[in-house]
């Protein structure tokens, strides 16, 4: 979901400062501070999760002493700040505890589920960039052409259709009506070298791509139209530079700046939105793990998942900011 207010806001906000070593440190410091904030929020929210996990673990014949012992075992008898301290130190060491519902190490569980989610997200992102940018360019350069109008109309439907609706339509057409593809799961996994994948047959991927693709395409189109009407392009035309050079070297480069931001943000939201996509298709990724954890109030898994997604988001945002400095010479240090 596009949740940014204005893709250029980041550019404007960064434009006043030259990117120097101290700015870089500052940026990294802010990232660490944000992560700490995320950790505190996750901890606080999860302490008030309704449903006592201990109550789900004990047998009916447990005595109050057994319950107290179990509470002490999980450190639930300490004060909140102490609990946070212990939990945070453990987290720093990569120890997220044991899943309450599955009685397994949380890191192990996440490690198992992570490849499925990343595979879905990365392939969806790469494909939607590979298709979305050319289509966006087409629509911006020939806005009155039939192809552009068609693509533009279809894209509006694309961004209006949530992945779970696309998903159900795909299941209906391919699995139920035509009986062609497996409607859920990763399908038949195909072995390509060391990478075992079900992507080639998965409907979930197609559902994710449709939304991403249209989003990228529309962004490229509107940015490019914007750039093409700016003065420097007019001057380039007046100088008699070839249309090809103007469109692809001068204009596209500038139009793609916001695409970096949005792609970064989208990777994060794709991971989050995988919760829904994975539920539709029973794709065995982290999102499905999280939804199952929510229904069991499995706090360690929920905490680990949220922290992990928070970490990914902060990393992506920081990387996007740094990438901007690399791509845009105006933001590079002039000192």
Partner 1 sequence: MRGASPLTENRGFLAGMFSSRSFVLGFGLTAIFVAAALVSFFWTPYDATALSVVDKLKGPSLAHWFGTDHFGRDIFSMIMVGARTSIAVAVVAVGIGIVAGVPLGLAAASRQGSLMDEVIMRANDLVFAFPALLIAILITAVFGPGAVNAIIAIGIFNIPVFARLARGAALTLWTREYIFAARVAGKGAVRISAEHILPNITNLLIVQGTIQFSLGILADAALSYVGLGAQPPIPSWGRMLADAQTMIALAPHMALFPGAAIVLTVLGLNLMGDGLRDIFDPKLRRSRS
**Within 97-156, which residues bind partner 1 (CB under 8 A)?**
143, 156
CB 316, min distance to partner 1, A: 10
CA-based torsion, 248, 250, 253, 254: positive or negative? negative
Least Å from the CB of residue 216 to partner 1 = 16
Distance of CA 283 to the CA centre of its chain: 16
Q: Rule CB under 8 A: which of 150-189 touch partner 1?
A: 156-157, 159-162, 164-165, 168-169, 171-172, 176
Please tell me whether residue 271 binds partner 1 under the rule CB under 8 A.
yes
Q: Which is nearer to partner 1, 197 or 297 (CB)?
A: 297
Q: Which of 159, 128, 122, 97 is nearest to 302 (CA)?
A: 97
Q: Which of 35, 67 has the CB closer to partner 1? A: 35
**Chosen residue from 205, 309, 325, 331 binding partner 1 by CB under 8 A:** 309
Q: Residue 161 in contact with residue 210, Cβ under 8 Å?
A: yes
Interface segment toward partner 1; rule CB under 8 A; list 67-75, 76-84, 253-261, 310-318: 310-318
Q: Single out the residue of 90, 117, 116 nearest to residue 105, CA to CA.
A: 90
The answer to whether 269 and 125 have CB atoms below 8 angstroms apart is no
CB of 134 to partner 1, least distance (A): 20
Among 96, 283, 313, 324, binds partner 1 (CB under 8 A): 313
**Cβ at position 218, least distance to partner 1 in Å:** 9
Contacts of 311 (CB under 8 A, 6+ apart): 35, 38
In the complex, the smallest distance separating the C-beta of residue 206 from partner 1, rounded to whole angstroms, is 16
Dihedral angle computed from the Cα positions of residues 152, 157, 159 and 161, in that order, rounded to the nearest 10 degrees: -170
Check residue 228 for interaction with partner 1 (CB under 8 A): yes
Instruction: Tell me how far the alpha carbon of residue 279 is from its chain's centroid.
Output: 16
**Closer to partner 1 by Cβ: residue 5 or 92:** 5
Count the residues of the shown chain that bind partner 1, applying the rule CB under 8 A: 59
Q: Find out whether 215 and 266 touch, Cβ atoms under 8 Å.
A: yes
Q: How far is the CB of 76 from partner 1 (least distance, A)?
A: 17
Binding partner 1 (rule: CB under 8 A), the pick from 269, 292, 327, 328 is 269
Alpha-carbon gap, residue 121 to 202, rounded angstroms: 13
* 13 contacts partner 1 (rule: CB under 8 A): yes
- Quote the least distance from Cβ 14 to partner 1, whole Å: 12
On whether the CB atoms of residues 37 and 288 are closer than 8 A, the answer is no
Backbone angles phi, psi at 202, to 5 degrees: -80, 135
The residue among 53, 31, 93, 80 whose CA lies nearest residue 321 is 31
* 24, 30, 233, 327: which one binds partner 1 (CB under 8 A): 30
Work out the burial of residue 82: count CB atoms within 10 Å of its CB; fewer than 13 is exposed, 13-18 middle, 19 or more buried.
exposed
Contact predicate 233/239, CB 8 Å: no
115's tokens: 């490849």
Nearer to partner 1, 172 or 200 (CB): 172
Nearest Cα residue to 280 out of 187, 192, 163? 163
Figure out which of the listed residues 276, 319, 322, 327 binds partner 1, where binding follows CB under 8 A. 276
Residue numbers of the site for partner 1 (CB under 8 A)? 1-6, 9, 12-13, 30, 33-35, 37-38, 41, 45-46, 48-50, 143, 156-157, 159-162, 164-165, 168-169, 171-172, 176, 222, 225-226, 228-229, 268-269, 271-273, 275-276, 279-280, 290-291, 294, 302, 306, 309-310, 313-314, 317
């Amino acid at each position: 979901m596009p949740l940014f207010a204005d893709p250029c806001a980041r550019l404007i906000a960064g434009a006043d400062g030259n990117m120097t070593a101290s700015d870089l440190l500052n940026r990294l410091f802010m990232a660490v501070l944000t992560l700490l904030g995320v950790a505190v929020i996750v901890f606080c929210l999860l302490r008030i999760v309704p449903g006592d996990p201990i109550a789900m673990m004990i047998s009916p014949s447990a005595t109050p002493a057994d319950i107290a012992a179990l509470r002490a075992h999980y450190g639930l008898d300490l004060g909140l700040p102490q609990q946070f301290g212990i939990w945070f130190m453990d987290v720093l060491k990569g120890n997220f505890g044991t899943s309450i519902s599955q009685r397994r190490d949380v890191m192990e569980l996440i490690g198992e589920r992570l490849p499925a989610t990343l595979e879905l997200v990365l392939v969806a992102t790469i494909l939607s960039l590979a298709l979305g940018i050319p289509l966006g360019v087409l629509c911006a350069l020939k806005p009155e052409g039939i192809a552009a109008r068609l693509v533009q109309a279809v894209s509006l439907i694309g961004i209006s259709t949530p992945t779970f609706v696309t998903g159900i339509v795909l299941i209906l057409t391919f699995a139920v009506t035509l009986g062609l593809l497996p409607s859920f799961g990763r399908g038949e996994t195909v072995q390509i070298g060391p990478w075992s994948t079900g992507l080639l047959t998965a409907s979930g991927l197609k559902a994710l791509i449709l939304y991403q693709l249209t989003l990228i395409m529309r962004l490229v189109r509107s940015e490019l139209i914007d750039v093409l009407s700016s003065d420097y392009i007019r001057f380039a035309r007046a100088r008699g530079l070839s249309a090809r050079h103007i469109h692809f070297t001068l204009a596209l480069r500038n139009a793609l700046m916001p695409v970096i931001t949005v792609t970064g943000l989208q990777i994060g939201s794709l991971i989050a939105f995988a919760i829904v996509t994975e539920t539709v298709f029973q794709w065995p990724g982290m999102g499905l793990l999280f939804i199952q954890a929510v229904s069991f109030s499995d706090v360690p898994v929920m905490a680990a998942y949220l922290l992990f997604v928070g970490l990914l988001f902060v990393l992506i945002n920081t990387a996007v900011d740094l990438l901007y400095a690399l791509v845009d010479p105006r933001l590079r240090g002039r000192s």
